[in-house]
Structure 1
Amino acid sequence: MNQSVVLEKGAVPRREGPPRLPARAALAAVPVCSLGVLGWVPALALALYRGTRADWLAALLFTAVSVGWCFQVALTPVDTSGSAFLLDVALLALSTVGAAVHVLLARGKGRVA
């Protein structure tokens, strides 16, 4: 049940929708320029900006992928092949390309507090 809430003086409502295209493009450049190490930054910025449950879940997912990729890099030998190499490539692609595509294609309305 949605009920209107009276804002206190000085309270700032949450913004609706995703940030504008230049801001999203700048956020999408972060994981690409850092080669996936900072893949969690755009999703976290979007979650802080809009504050929806889906945005927070996406931020959690990309943070988990980035942490998993760091562990994979630390535990994988230099000259690896097979499934370990495939897992490393998949985590790198999801952390880099997935995070950039996610913030560029973010649509929908955010909640208004």
Structure 2
Amino acid sequence: MNQAVRLEKGADSPRSKELPGRPARVALALVPPLSLGVLGFVPSLVFALRRGTRGDRLTALLFTAASVGWCFQIALTPEETHGFAYLLDVLLLAVTTLGAAAHCLTVKRSGR
């Protein structure tokens, strides 16, 4: 049977608040370039779920919004695009691939 677990006030959370180590962060940084930006939100989402700070959640929200915006941009623009629509495609692609990878490699440990 399942029994409810009561947490006492001041008890430590069972979830780790630390960032993954350097090899794991490098592996996470490879996800956006290898998926061509489609999974650009994954590293920031891992950090947000792992640490749960406001900045991590905001970053995850921003990269998720950029990924969704890029998917809509792909679906709604014609194949031969010029001008502002092309610039927006390039910008969203750069943010979801290079920006997400750079963020994953440069994120700092909180409180240190």
RMSD: 1.5
TM-score by length of 1: 0.85
Question: Moved runs in structure 1, 4+ residues, more than 3 A?
Answer: none
1:1-113 to 2 correspondences below 5 Å? 6-7=10-11, 11-16=13-18, 18-109=19-110
Query: Higher relative contact order at CA 8 Å, sep ≥6: structure 1 or structure 2?
Result: 1
CA-to-partner distance for each residue in 1:59-82, whole Å, 9 max, x for gaps? 000000000000000011001111
Structure-2 change in CA distance of 1:49 and 1:13 (3 Å): closer
Name the SS for the 1:109 alignment partner: coil
TM-score by length of 2: 0.86
Inter-partner Cα distance in structure 2 for 1:109 and 1:19: 12
Inter-partner Cα distance in structure 2 for 1:29 and 1:57: 21
State the 1:14 CA deviation: 3.4
Contact 2:32 2:96 in 1 (8 A): yes
Q: Structure 1: which 5+ residue stretches go unaligned?
A: none
Q: Structure 2: which 5+ residue stretches go unaligned?
A: 1-8
